[in-house]
């Protein structure tokens, strides 16, 4: 008999940014299943690193190929099925691509980074945007 063992589902995600007319924007995804706006993220596939997972999930959910930046941190939470999840996030720059709706993500929105704090549904996304803002400081507001 094993005691004290908890399975943790690992994942990766990204805070994807771009500059438009001198303003830094973040990419938000809308998930119809959860009726929320969030950062793109998903579960780790066998044999892939957390960073590879983050890049793959961002591409699958948004259509954008991204360049990996600094690791922003991780969030732990219990999902709707009662499982423990741990998702590691990176800052990312969108290099190329275009969004096509899917059943998992039906819309995206580019929103100024500071303004995005008003729209994210989950506390974990707010934590990652706050971590990003702490890294970039006042330069994002210039």
Q: Does residue 3 form part of some domain?
A: no
Q: How far is CA 32 from the centre of its chain?
A: 16
Q: Does residue 27 form part of some domain?
A: yes
Is the pLDDT at 142 greater than 80? The verdict is no
**Domain ranges, residue 131:** 8-137
pTM of the model: 0.89
Which comes out higher in pLDDT, residue 101 or 82?
101
Q: What is the pLDDT of residues 60-74, one digit of tens each?
A: 999 999 999 999 999
Q: What is the pLDDT of residue 141?
A: 47
Q: Does residue 1 form part of some domain?
A: no
Q: Are 14 and 93 in contact (CB under 8 A)?
A: no
Structural domains counted in the chain:
1
- Report the alpha-carbon distance of residue 90 to residue 52 in Å, rounded: 11
Residue 108, H or E segment: strand 107-112
Q: Does residue 22 form part of some domain?
A: yes
Q: What is the pLDDT of residue 6?
A: 66
Q: Are 3 and 84 in contact (CB under 8 A)?
A: no
Q: Does residue 55 form part of some domain?
A: yes
Q: Does residue 34 form part of some domain?
A: yes
Domain of residue 120, CATH code: 3.90.79.10
Average pLDDT over all residues of the chain: 91
Is the pLDDT at 83 greater than 80? The verdict is yes
Q: Does residue 63 form part of some domain?
A: yes
């Amino acid at each position: 008999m094993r005691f004290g063992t908890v399975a943790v589902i690992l994942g990766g995600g990204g805070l994807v940014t771009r500059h438009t007319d001198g303003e830094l924007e973040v990419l938000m995804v809308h998930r119809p299943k959860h009726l929320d706006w969030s950062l793109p993220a998903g579960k780790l596939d066998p044999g892939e690193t957390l960073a590879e997972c983050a890049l793959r999930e961002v591409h699958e959910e948004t259509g954008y190929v991204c360049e990996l930046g600094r690791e922003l941190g991780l969030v732990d939470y219990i999902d709707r099925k009662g499982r423990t999840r741990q998702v590691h996030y990176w800052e990312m720059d969108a290099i190329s691509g275009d969004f096509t709706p899917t059943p998992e993500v039906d819309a995206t929105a580019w929103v100024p980074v500071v303004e995005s704090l008003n729209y994210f549904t989950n506390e974990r996304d707010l934590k990652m945007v706050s971590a990003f803002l702490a890294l970039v400081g006042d330069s994002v507001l210039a």
